[in-house]
Amino acid sequence: MRETPRALSRRSLLIAATALVAPLRASRAQGSWPPVFEAGRSQFTVVRPRTAMPPIRLQDLHGKDVVVTAKPGRITLVNFWATWCAACRLDLPVLASLAGSQRDQLDVVAVCTDTKDLRKITAFLASLAAKNLACYVDAYGAAAQASTEMFPLIGMPITYLVGTSGQVEGYIAGAPDWLSPEGARLLQFYREQG
C-alpha cells in the first residue's frame, strides 16, 4: 500500500517528535528534572534562570518587623495567600502539617497579601488548623515588590520552592497535597540537589 504525502508527513513528524522527546525522557530518568507534582489544573513549574531569594521585610502576627531569608542547606516554601481565597483554606492547613512534620528539614513561610489588619488575619488563621505555620504580613509592600521581580503571583494561593542553595527553583499555584507521595518525592529531589 502506498502512503499519501499527507500520511507520510504525519508519520515523519511522529518519528521526529519521538526522537526529540527521547533525550528529555532520558535526562528526567537520570534525575536532572524534578518529579511531577500536580494540584488540580496546575503543576509544579520549574523556573529558569534560577535566582537567589532576596531577603523580604515583613511583619509577624504580633506586628514585629522580621526579615525572611532562605537558610542554606534547607528547603524554603514561600506561600502567598489571601483571606478572601477559598483554596487558601485548604492549602494553609496542609502547609502547617508539613511544617510540623519536617521541622528539621524545611521552612514554610506564609505571606498574607490582601490585608495588613492583624486581627482579621489572626481570626482567619484561627478558623483553620494551621498552628505550626509561620505566617507573616506584607506590611511594607516587600512581597508585592518581590512578586513583580522574583515571585509572580499568577494565582492564589501560590507556593514557591527555594532549594537548599537559596535559589528559587519553581512554583505551584493552587492547593497541592504536599503530604502526598508526589509532594514528598519533589521535596526529596530538591534536598538531594544541594
Query: What are the counts of helices (DSSP H) followed by strands (DSSP E) for the chain?
Result: 5, 10
Predicted local distance difference test score (pLDDT) of residue 148: 59
Quote the Cα angle for 148-52-147, to 5°: 15
pLDDT digits (tens, 9 = 90+) for 91-138: 999 999 999 888 778 999 999 988 888 999 999 999 997 877 889 998
Question: Domain-by-domain residue ranges, the chain?
Answer: 1-33, 34-193
pLDDT digits (tens, 9 = 90+) for 8-45: 455 554 454 444 444 444 334 445 789 988 888 889 99
Predicted local distance difference test score (pLDDT) of residue 17: 42
Query: In CATH terms, is domain 34-193 a member of 3.40.30.10?
Result: yes
Predicted local distance difference test score (pLDDT) of residue 151: 73
Which residues face 77 on adjacent strands? 108, 161
Nearest-angstrom CA–CA distance, 177 and 186 = 11
- The predicted model gives 43-55 an average pLDDT of 90
Predicted local distance difference test score (pLDDT) of residue 75: 95
Nearest-angstrom CA–CA distance, 89 and 14 = 44
pLDDT digits (tens, 9 = 90+) for 140-156: 876 666 655 667 677 78
